[in-house]
Amino acid sequence: MTDFKTTVGNVEMVSLTDGQGAGPPTGVFPESTDEIWRAEYPELVDAEGMIHPRYGCLAVRSSGKLIIVDTGMQAPDGALLNDMNAKGVDRDAVDLVVTTHLHPDHVGWNLTDGKPTFPKARYLAPRTDWDYWTQPSVVENAAHIQNQVLPLNELNLLDLMDDDYQITDELQTLATPGHTPGHISIRVTSAGERGFILGDVAHSPAQAHYTDWNPAFDMDGATARQTRNRIVDKLEEEGAVVATGHFPDPGFGRFVRQAGRRVWQVL
Ligand SMILES: [Zn+2]
């Protein structure tokens, strides 16, 4: 555990992991092929031919605040709280919990046994996602909203973020729609350095090159593809330090060009 922390100016980011999923790569990315995965990304595919998207979260220390970005899956064997303990992140000290979007693998530890997991925190969610997921016809089929989001609103712990929401003077949201209607990423700007908390704009290092591959979970594929191309181009140009959620642990890196091909370069 040497590289689970990085900094952007005065902002400290600690990578946290709740667990990992498993799926056939062409099931997760229907536009990909097994040949490409085997030939170009053997390190991402296990002996059974599966890829393993990580359920990643982040602890961010900025302007005197301790912020958790996304809270993983929790069930059935989520390791987030153990991982926080191991990395010196005290859940009782968390000031804010920011959700990039309201999918089940990003809100899983909002509450534990019906009580807020982070007792002193206020919770922030994108307003556009809230508006979508709380529609009666949607919420009735979304147990994770009923169990991990609505109670926060009833407890008056939930604030909704409009576009370009300033979380601290160093952290500002950016609308990156497509994966969900209200999906956000977070721009980090501090002491002349730039970072970016990607959320689910991309799910795999393979998308550094194959930016047109949409994971099956993107709700609006055309918009997600447009967002991904725009954002990854910009991050390559800026050389920003990028924190990812679903890339392999610890998920910090940069999009860089090597021999004419864009790759994910681990920090
Ligand atoms: Zn996700």
Largest CA distance in the chain: 53
Rounded to the nearest whole angstrom, what is the distance from the C-alpha of residue 259 to the centroid of ligand 1? 31
Rounded to the nearest whole angstrom, what is the distance from the C-alpha of residue 102 to the centroid of ligand 1? 9
Rounded to the nearest whole angstrom, what is the distance from the C-alpha of residue 101 to the centroid of ligand 1? 8
The whole-number pLDDT of residue 48 equals 93
Rounded to the nearest whole angstrom, what is the distance from the C-alpha of residue 247 to the centroid of ligand 1? 10
Task: Report strand pairing: 115-116 vs 5-8.
Answer: unpaired
Rounded to the nearest whole angstrom, what is the distance from the C-alpha of residue 106 to the centroid of ligand 1? 6
Rounded to the nearest whole angstrom, what is the distance from the C-alpha of residue 191 to the centroid of ligand 1? 30
Residue ranges with CB less than 5 Å from ion ligand 1: 105, 200
Rounded to the nearest whole angstrom, what is the distance from the C-alpha of residue 225 to the centroid of ligand 1? 16
Omega before 53 cis (within 30°)? no
Rounded to the nearest whole angstrom, what is the distance from the C-alpha of residue 64 to the centroid of ligand 1? 28
The whole-number pLDDT of residue 157 equals 98
Residues 6+ apart with CB under 8 A from 104: 73, 144, 148
Rounded to the nearest whole angstrom, what is the distance from the C-alpha of residue 47 to the centroid of ligand 1? 24
CA–CA distance, 138 with 6 (Å, rounded to integer) = 38
CA–CA distance, 216 with 24 (Å, rounded to integer) = 12
Q: Which CATH class is domain 5-266?
A: alpha beta
CA–CA distance, 147 with 143 (Å, rounded to integer) = 6
The whole-number pLDDT of residue 1 equals 46
Rounded to the nearest whole angstrom, what is the distance from the C-alpha of residue 123 to the centroid of ligand 1? 18
Helix or strand run (H / E) with residue 193: strand 193-199
Rounded to the nearest whole angstrom, what is the distance from the C-alpha of residue 173 to the centroid of ligand 1? 17
Rounded to the nearest whole angstrom, what is the distance from the C-alpha of residue 28 to the centroid of ligand 1? 12
What are the domain boundaries of the chain? 5-266
- Specify the 3-state DSSP secondary structure of 80: helix
The whole-number pLDDT of residue 2 equals 52
pLDDT tens, residue order, the chain (267 aa): 458 999 999 999 999 999 999 999 999 999 999 999 999 999 999 999 999 999 999 999 999 999 999 999 998 789 999 999 999 999 999 999 999 999 999 999 999 999 999 999 999 999 999 999 999 999 999 999 999 999 999 999 999 999 999 999 999 999 999 999 999 999 999 999 999 999 999 999 999 999 999 999 999 999 999 999 999 999 999 999 999 999 999 999 999 999 999 999 999
Rounded to the nearest whole angstrom, what is the distance from the C-alpha of residue 179 to the centroid of ligand 1? 9
Rounded to the nearest whole angstrom, what is the distance from the C-alpha of residue 80 to the centroid of ligand 1? 15
pLDDT tens per residue, range 25-50: 999 999 999 999 999 999 999 999 99
Rounded to the nearest whole angstrom, what is the distance from the C-alpha of residue 3 to the centroid of ligand 1? 22
